[in-house]
Amino acid sequence: MTVTDTSAYETLRSKLREAAVFASVTSVLSWDQETYMPAGGGEARAEQMAAMAGLVHERKTASELADLIAQAADEVGSDDVAAVNVARMQRDFDRETKLPSKLVANIARTSSIAQDAWKAARASNDFAAFKPHLEKMLELTRQKAECWGTPDDGELYDALLDEYEPNARATEIEAVFGPLGNQLSELVAELMDAPNPPSLEPFKRPVAISAQAELGRHVLSAFGFDLNTGRLDVTAHPFCQDVGPGDTRLTTRYTEAGVGDALFSTMHEGGHGLYEQNLPKAERFGEPLGQSISLGIHESQSRFWENIVGRSAEFWRWLTPTVKDLFGDGYAHTTADELYRAANVVERSYIRVESDEATYNLHVMLRFELERALVSGELSVADLPGAWNERFERLLGVPVPDDARGCLQDVHWSFGLIGYFPTYTLGNLYAAQFTEAMEAELGQLGPRIERGEFGPIREWLTDNIYSQGRRYEAGELCERITGKALSDEPLMRYLRGKLRPVYGL
């Protein structure tokens, strides 16, 4: 390959960087909207967001890009890194140009109304009021999927999945989720009858929010999240928002009597943040090689730092002295073991976002099955509550009390996020499987974690995942790192290995 600065490839890179700069402006707007924007600024913000979205779409679908991509593909030939970069650019361009602007605008308008309707319906436990909106959103989402096209080896749902998890197939996911679901249901049933269940009480003592924030920052810094190129703020729903090279922002939420919630959210978003901070963005902003692979791989990082690190016995042995220092008298006699056990309570609850490591994936599988059936037409929106309640009881072993705590609990479907839910469980699966590979190389993580030695862990992740950008697809990356396709076994080994002893089994 001979690529000069005036090559089509370099021109293309700079055009994509330009589009990414405009997109990153939108990230500032959206972060600001959730954190500091005064309430009265909402209308003007919507106008700004719409204008910027139009501009970014225009830049990403400019017809000159088609020619540049074709020329760049010739130029880079089979040089593997650049060739992969161009192939991914082609993929993104195709997807972006396949959606008619009219449909995009229609989805934006309809989903904005559907979200409001969802909020009201959830508050009043009134599925019937939400039903027409969900029907409209489902129809528009199907139209979107049809624009992208059903893959030859797949189904219509895969076209949606592809947006969040490139080239994933529902059948492959089903093949892993199936056995995982059965084993998880069994494990949860076993834990519910166990002799020595842990208590959540150590996380329920009142602690000043300033002390909780200090603890969160302490943990983030120890993990290697750079607060000089990042922030931690407070929002109603925690998130990680990347704002461009050198600027990655996290949020969490504090309650005076719920120490665990804020800390685990902080570690979760911190995991996303570590991925973002260690992507090669300075040189490759806007290019596939500077971007994260998929939502599943992104989620594997948040789950790794939140759960595999943050809910381990060794983590709590490391952190407990700091907890005692910062949280004062209420924690004077608390042991690391009590906090570790509190971090691993398993409960049969109705709400996904409040659920634990063992039941969480059951909540996700339910949504995956149902949304797949909605897209294929096997399930109608009218039958959704019944189907939800029936399958929920089968998976979780308890009946659903009402739709507000059932099929109305999540915002996702109201704005057309279908194909998104499975990435949460994919994240858990990848995290466990990557951890086994990491331990095969670095040795057991426990002793390092207990000494607060997070550097080598983060470096391993940076080398193997973060620094690679979109060099590999999720499945490829998994094969490269672990030598195997994605499997339910590492996650089940991890959960059984930890939770059975915690419960005295």
> Which residues are tagged catalytic?
269
8 A C-beta contact, residue 91 and residue 295? no
* CB closer to a second copy, 178 vs 246: 246
Residue 247 vs 306, nearer CB to a second copy: 247
Binders in 267-286 for a second copy, by CB under 8 A: 285
Evaluate whether 225 touches 273 at the Cβ level (below 8 Å): yes
* Residue (5 or 43) nearer to a second copy, CB: 43
What is the maximal distance between C-alpha atoms in the chain? 70
Could you say which of 2, 5, 6, 40 contacts a second copy (CB under 8 A)? 40
**Any contact of residue 234 with a second copy (CB under 8 A)?**
no
- Pick between residue 220 and residue 366 the one whose CB is nearest to a second copy: 220
Beta bridge partners of 327: none
Which residues make Cβ contacts (< 8 Å) with residue 370, sequence separation at least 6? Answer: 379, 384, 387, 388, 391, 407
- Interacting residue with a second copy among 117, 215, 243, 431 (CB under 8 A): 243
Q: Calculate ∠ Cα 336-340-341, nearest 5°.
A: 120
Contact criterion met (CB below 8 Å) for 198 and 342: yes
Under rule CB under 8 A, how many of the chain's residues touch a second copy? 38
Binder to a second copy among 36, 210, 237, 255 (CB under 8 A)? 36
What helix, strand, coil percent values describe the chain, rounded to 5?
70, 5, 25
- By beta-carbon proximity to a second copy, the closer residue of 120 and 227 is 227
Query: What region, left, alpha or beta, does residue 429 occupy, with left being phi > 0 and alpha being psi -120 to 50 degrees?
Result: alpha
Give the integer Cα–Cα distance in Å for 351 and 2. Answer: 55
User: According to the binding rule CB under 8 A, does residue 257 interact with a second copy?
Assistant: no
Which residue of 3, 7, 10, 28 would you call a contact of a second copy, by CB under 8 A?
28
In whole angstroms, give the CA distance from residue 412 to residue 120. Answer: 15
Q: Which amino acid is at 92?
A: D
Q: Is residue 224 involved in binding a second copy (CB under 8 A)? A: no
How many Cβ atoms are within 10 Å of 244's Cβ, its own excluded? Answer: 16
**Residue 230 touches a second copy, criterion: CB under 8 A:** yes
| Both tokens assigned to 296 | 């599943």
Beta bridge partners of 231: 249
Picking from 82, 68, 90, the residue whose alpha carbon sits closest to that of residue 14 is 68
Q: Taking CB under 8 A as the rule, does residue 37 contact a second copy?
A: yes
Q: Is 105 in the site for a second copy (CB under 8 A)?
A: no
> Is 36 or 150 the residue whose CB approaches a second copy more closely?
36
Stretch that binds a second copy, among 25-33, 112-120, 310-318, 416-424 (CB under 8 A): 25-33
Does 25 participate in binding a second copy (rule CB under 8 A)? yes
Q: Give me the helices (H) in 278-304, please.
A: 281-284, 295-303
Residues 45-84, one symbol each (x = binds a second copy by CB under 8 A, - = not), give x-xx--xx--x-----------------------------
Of 130-138, 142-150, 226-234, 395-403, the segment contacting a second copy by CB under 8 A is 226-234
Report the nearest approach of a second copy to the CB of residue 161 (Å).
Answer: 31
Binding site for a second copy (CB under 8 A): 18, 21-22, 24-25, 28-29, 32, 35-45, 47-48, 51-52, 55, 226-231, 233, 243-247, 249, 285
